Amino acid sequence: MFSLLSKYQCAKELGLPIAAFIALLLFSAIFTYFCPESGWSTFFAILPLIPAIWAVRTTVRLVKQMETMLQEQQLVNFATSFVVVGLVTFTYGFLSCFADYPSLPLILVAPLMVAVWVVTDLLAKRRNK
């Protein structure tokens, strides 16, 4: 995704917040599962947002370090992922309302957007070779 920057720099700068997010997510899921009546459940449920915000900040900073042409390509990739995920969730919303499909958990929207962003980036790199 960040072709101007070294793979190791991106892995180092994004790896730590992602690892912290996964660790806090597992911890908060275990805590809220075993102590659902605790007054701390709400705090621990939103605790993984701290490294998630850190990862977003790091991603924006890494994109700002790119050349202008690569920044524009990332904007196109992000806009494409936004529209694709919007259409998918909108369509699934119709299916859940009118065709008795189970509702889609909102927690899946952001990872789906990131996955589509990565796929569009790979397709753009392949197309521009």
Residues 98-109: tens digit of each pLDDT: 998 998 888 889
Residues 36-78: tens digit of each pLDDT: 888 888 899 899 999 999 999 998 888 888 889 889 999 999 9
As a whole-number percent, the residues of the chain with pLDDT over 90 amount to: 53
In this prediction, residue 103 carries a pLDDT of 87
CB proximity list for 21: less than 8 A, separation 6 or greater: 48, 51, 52, 55
Q: Which of 128, 6, 38, 42 is nearest to 120 (CA)?
A: 128
Q: Is the pLDDT of residue 2 over 60?
A: no
Q: What predicted TM-score, i.e. pTM, was given to this entire model? A: 0.73
- What token pair was written down for 36? 């659902």
